[in-house]
Amino acid sequence: MVQKLLRAHASVRKYKDYILSKEEISELVETAQHAASSHFVQAYSVIWITEELKKEELGKLSGNPKQFETAGAALLLCADFHRLQVAGELQNTIIDIDTTENVLVGTVDVALFAQNLVIAAESKGYGICFIGGVRNEPATISQLFNLPEGVFPLFAITLGVPDQQNEVKPRLPVAAILHENTYDDSDYEKLLKEYDQTMADYYVSRGANQKVATWTKQMADFLEKPRRPHMADFLSSKGFHLK
Amino acid sequence: MVQKLLRAHASVRKYKDYILSKEEISELVETAQHAASSHFVQAYSVIWITEELKKEELGKLSGNPKQFETAGAALLLCADFHRLQVAGELQNTIIDIDTTENVLVGTVDVALFAQNLVIAAESKGYGICFIGGVRNEPATISQLFNLPEGVFPLFAITLGVPDQQNEVKPRLPVAAILHENTYDDSDYEKLLKEYDQTMADYYVSRGANQKVATWTKQMADFLEKPRRPHMADFLSSKGFHLK
């Protein structure tokens, strides 16, 4: 049952002592590549990190040292227009990567690819965690892995044999996500208050890491200040000027 | 076999006469919501378009009128920080959506959600097609569906019972995607030339729509001119100033 697998997803942040082989990683990447890609640009690259020192460094830079320590594999997922520039050169054509549109295309391409990879991994019993924290230090991380112009790190994924099993968190009610024919926010206040209660009940009763919290409070605290205001300048330094 | 399902993906652009019910759409959305979400912001909304006139209009605006005509369901996928703004208001907090980072977060969130939805649909025998063409006319489409500030359309998905079965296109060789410890483009020229041959062979021998083409030529032609240069201004008009 595929839907059962998809609904069972929860982040795994601690792994048993098992290192994935090159064959396993290649198989996961090849499966992931079958995701759709905008105009078939296939604008993604994966850095598989096997050197202990680099793995440790990426763990520190992205604020998740422990996860990287026990992971059976650590992957850095990048949007990649450099390979497309090489394709252009083979055709004596200078391609234009320098638009906001290409940042969106690369980001969507990476994410569709990554979700396929994650589902393939979870179907084999592995656990995974996305790590957006690589965007805390994108310039330093780019240097660490020699990312050229046209390539930017979007997130990392750790994966491995789960040494913990987190519970599945309740999601927003479908009624707050799904609109028919027109965007309609007239029930948001009611739905979000109900969801706050659902999440509060979940947080106090779950097996581990119990706390007193609601979703709207978490979101308000998290988004009160601008998030990663360096990203525009960083993307510009990689050739994407967001014009 | 989940990997077999993932590797069987090919876009479907023509559908048999079957309309998905609200129960089916709700089930797909609920499954999709189990994808990971950055800091659990769940920054996505779906407009399910059932009004014939609006469906026709979206088909025209995104350059795919025929697909929308036969589709069993048409969905507009949007990044959504408006609902997070409402969450902030409930906590008497003004949240800051105005950064490039939030555009990336929303885009990743929508894409992970969408890929889950697609896999759930394909596991039930439906075919799907992503339509990035909604970014041709994002402002008009935003008006058509009353998208407020903080919400932007990223792509559409049509789905339904397949009335055609496209072959699976060969992907780039894994060696061109997967790097170990450091980004390495030293084999790109060789790999892309081999891949051009693979694609040329595929295009002349496939069952339908045969043509003479290579991947590097397609990419060079496609990316020679700036793509959708209006996107930065459009995102700015929705409250994301890419600073």
How many residue pairs bridge chain A and chain B with CB atoms within 8 Å of each other? Answer: 358
Alpha helices, DSSP H, located in A74-99: 82-90
| Inter-residue contact A4 to A68 (CB < 8 Å) | no
Confidence of residue B54 (pLDDT cuts 50, 70, 90): very high
Give dist(CA A182, CA B197) in Å, integer. 46
Domain boundaries, chain A: 2-166, 174-220
CA distance B216 to chain A (A): 5
CB-based contact A51 B111, cutoff 8 Å:
no
Task: Read off the amino acid at residue A97.
Answer: I
Given a cut of 80, whether residue B243 has pLDDT beyond it is no
Residue % of chain A over a pLDDT of 70: 100
A-chain residues near B223 (CB < 8 A): 41, 84, 88, 93, 95-97
pLDDT in tens, A63-104: 999 999 999 999 999 999 999 999 999 999 999 888 899 999
pLDDT in tens, A16-39: 999 999 999 999 999 999 999 999
Residue % of chain B over a pLDDT of 90: 92
Sequence-distant (≥ 6) Cβ neighbours of residue A64 within 8 angstroms: A13, A129, A131, A133, A158
Give dist(CA A219, CA B37) in Å, integer. 13
Given a cut of 90, whether residue B107 has pLDDT beyond it is yes
pTM score, whole prediction = 0.98
Tell me, yes or no, if B21 comes closer than 8 A to chain A by beta carbon: no
What's the sign of the alpha-carbon dihedral B149, A214, A194, A129?
positive
Interface test with A, best of B33, B68, B102 (most A CBs within 10 A): B33
Which pLDDT does position A233 carry in this prediction? 95
CB-based contact B41 A154, cutoff 8 Å:
no
CB-based contact A34 B84, cutoff 8 Å:
no
Which pLDDT does position B208 carry in this prediction? 84
The CATH number given to B2-166 is 3.40.109.10
Instruction: Provide the b/e sequence for B93-115 (b: ≥16 CB within 10 Å).
Output: bebbbbbbbbbbbbbbbbbbbbb
Q: Are strands A44-48 and A127-131 parallel, antiparallel or unpaired?
A: unpaired
Give dist(CA B161, CA A59) in Å, integer. 45
Confidence of residue A194 (pLDDT cuts 50, 70, 90): very high
Give dist(CA B36, CA A169) in Å, integer. 10
pLDDT in tens, A115-167: 999 999 999 999 999 999 999 999 999 999 999 999 999 999 999 999 998 89
B-chain residues near A152 (CB < 8 A): none
Which pLDDT does position A201 carry in this prediction? 96
Give dist(CA B65, CA A116) in Å, integer. 29
CB-based contact A107 B102, cutoff 8 Å:
no
pLDDT in tens, B187-206: 999 999 999 999 999 999 99
Tell me, yes or no, if B3 comes closer than 8 A to chain A by beta carbon: yes
pLDDT in tens, B71-106: 999 999 999 999 999 999 999 999 988 889 999 999
From the list B153, B20, B83, B19, the residue with the least C-alpha distance to A175 is B83
Give dist(CA A221, CA A106) in Å, integer. 29
Sequence-distant (≥ 6) Cβ neighbours of residue A86 within 8 angstroms: B185, B188, B189, B192
CB-based contact B169 A40, cutoff 8 Å:
yes
What's the sign of the alpha-carbon dihedral B174, B180, B184, B186?
negative
The secondary structure of residue B81, as a DSSP letter, is: -
Tell me, yes or no, if B166 comes closer than 8 A to chain A by beta carbon: no
Give dist(CA B117, CA B8) in Å, integer. 16
CB-based contact B169 A51, cutoff 8 Å:
no
State ipTM.
0.98
CB-based contact B90 A50, cutoff 8 Å:
no
Which pLDDT does position B207 carry in this prediction? 85
CB-based contact A189 B118, cutoff 8 Å:
no
Given a cut of 90, whether residue A207 has pLDDT beyond it is no
- Residue B31 has its nearest CB partner, among A7, A27, A118, at A7
Given a cut of 80, whether residue A221 has pLDDT beyond it is yes
* Partners of residue B155 on adjacent β-strands: B77
From the list A33, A39, A32, the residue with the least C-alpha distance to B131 is A39
Structure tokens at B204: 């002349």
Identify the H or E element spanning A155.
strand A151-160
Helix (H, G, I), strand (E, B), or coil: what is residue A78?
A: strand
